[in-house]
Structure 1
């Protein structure tokens, strides 16, 4: 499958040029196969793009602006859709590509195939820890976030225990003062 990016090599708008460069640059940087299809110099490309952008994605004037992105014949979206997918770490889903094996998208896909529910809490037992605590460069972002979350939860629990202990101490002091007054 090849990603097709419809661009205008002769674009009067700086904003359009920047959007096109961002999409093409991203694809190049991530070594995703693509073809840049020029709509400024090729009437067939321009007509194909206009005919294949879904009606609900066309602007009011009916002429979609570049960049428009397709996976073969399947419409992926425009720049805004691309940007949202990139920010949401769902870029491979956006392009209709299989995620690389080490990505969160691949893990999510694997979990779904194994019948696990995304966001479902996993219980950690002493015999098979889900997360290894380690201080190595190989520590994943998920490990860091989970360890940080666990540390935060432990700190919050400790603060709650201290608050309860303080309240109990204050109650005992008040009781002692009342006993002394009587």
Structure 2
């Protein structure tokens, strides 16, 4: 299982940048393996992300904003969902992970 965070490396939105940094920072600080997928570099990745966000999670107008979070091909949620899971202390369940990675993990 690979956590994928779909980001936009070139965005004019300060809010989007902060949201992306918050998600990536959390994953890094908790030693959760993840992959950043830059939707501004590969049109095919952007289209895949848009197609795989559930209809009920898409905005009424425009496109979904990054960051969007997946566990392999399974949609986890957007920044708001991530933030709520942090508030509820349920991030690992939100990400589809069984538990917090062991601190003794020497693979990193």
TM-score (norm 1): 0.54
The equivalent residue for 2:61 is 61
Shift of residue 100 of structure 1? 3.1
Cα RMSD, aligned residues only: 1.4
Task: Please give the alpha-carbon distance, in whole angstroms, between the structure 1 residues aligned to 2:74 and 2:101.
Answer: 24
Higher relative contact order (CA 8 A, sep 6+): 2
Task: Please give the alpha-carbon distance, in whole angstroms, between the structure 2 residues aligned to 1:101 and 1:43.
Answer: 33
Please list the CA deviations of residues 12-59 of structure 1 after superposition, one character each: whole Å capped at 9, or x if unmatched.
Answer: 100000000000000000010100000011101100100000000000
Please state whether the residue corresponding to 1:97 is helix, strand or coil: coil
Which one has a larger percent strand, Structure 1 or Structure 2? 2
Extract unaligned runs of 5+ from structure 2. Answer: 103-108
Please state whether the residue corresponding to 2:99 is helix, strand or coil: coil
Greater CA radius of gyration, 1 or 2?
Answer: 1
Give the number of aligned pairs.
102
Please state whether the residue corresponding to 2:11 is helix, strand or coil: coil
Extract unaligned runs of 5+ from structure 1. Answer: 103-182
Shift of residue 101 of structure 1? 8.3
Q: Which consecutive segments of 4 or more residues in structure 1 shift more than 6 A? A: none
Which one has a larger percent helix, Structure 1 or Structure 2? 1
